[in-house]
Amino acid sequence: MKKLSITTIGFLILSLALSVSAESRTWTSADGSKTFEGELRSYNPDSKQVEVITGGRRLTFSADVLSEADQTYLAEQEASKPMDPDAIEEALKASEVGALIAKTKLSKLDGSRFRRTELDVVPEYYFLYYSASW
């Protein structure tokens, strides 16, 4: 039996991972008259440009031509994206409490030791718990 090289195995694993992570869905036009299958590649909420791969072709169009359900899906996909750490820091610095937090070292228990960490969201509210063991 022919042996596969490590590179080939790596490529196969990567291909499988990509095919699993790409989510194909049925897209519907705004008036509901047309549908097509495709995988979302990108969505720009500012320009409303959507990029979808369908049948090996790349389609780019405005989200306005899609159904309300598809537009909700796009908005949810966008909202679920983790924020860029630099964008989080900038957003924190724009508020009084956020600015204090941004320049302060935060820690969190990781097993039995504290590890340095940072906020991965921009909160609207801060619940401050002042306490001590003594």
Partner 1 sequence: MERYKQELEGNTKVAFIHVSHDRSDDAAQTWAESEGFPWLTILPDDAERSGLFEYKTRNAVPHYLLVDAAGEMLANSSAAAFSKIAELTE
Backbone angles phi, psi at 60, to 5 degrees: -125, 130
Question: Smallest gap, in angstroms, from Cβ of residue 75 to partner 1?
Answer: 16
Closest CA to 66 of 32, 101, 114: 32
Backbone angles phi, psi at 116, to 5 degrees: -65, 140
Question: Smallest gap, in angstroms, from Cβ of residue 11 to partner 1?
Answer: 37
Which lies closer to partner 1 via its Cβ, residue 65 or residue 119?
119
**CB burial class (10 A; 0-12, 13-18, 19+) of residue 48?**
middle
Question: Smallest gap, in angstroms, from Cβ of residue 90 to partner 1?
Answer: 14
Contact (Cβ atoms closer than 8 angstroms) between residue 58 and residue 41: yes
Which lies closer to partner 1 via its Cβ, residue 3 or residue 105?
105
Question: Smallest gap, in angstroms, from Cβ of residue 49 to partner 1?
Answer: 26
Which lies closer to partner 1 via its Cβ, residue 41 or residue 115?
115
- Residues forming contacts to partner 1 in the complex (CB under 8 A) are 95-98, 100-101, 103-109, 112-114, 117, 119, 121, 123-134
Which lies closer to partner 1 via its Cβ, residue 55 or residue 82?
82
Radius of gyration of the chain (CA): 22
Q: What is the DSSP letter of 4?
A: P
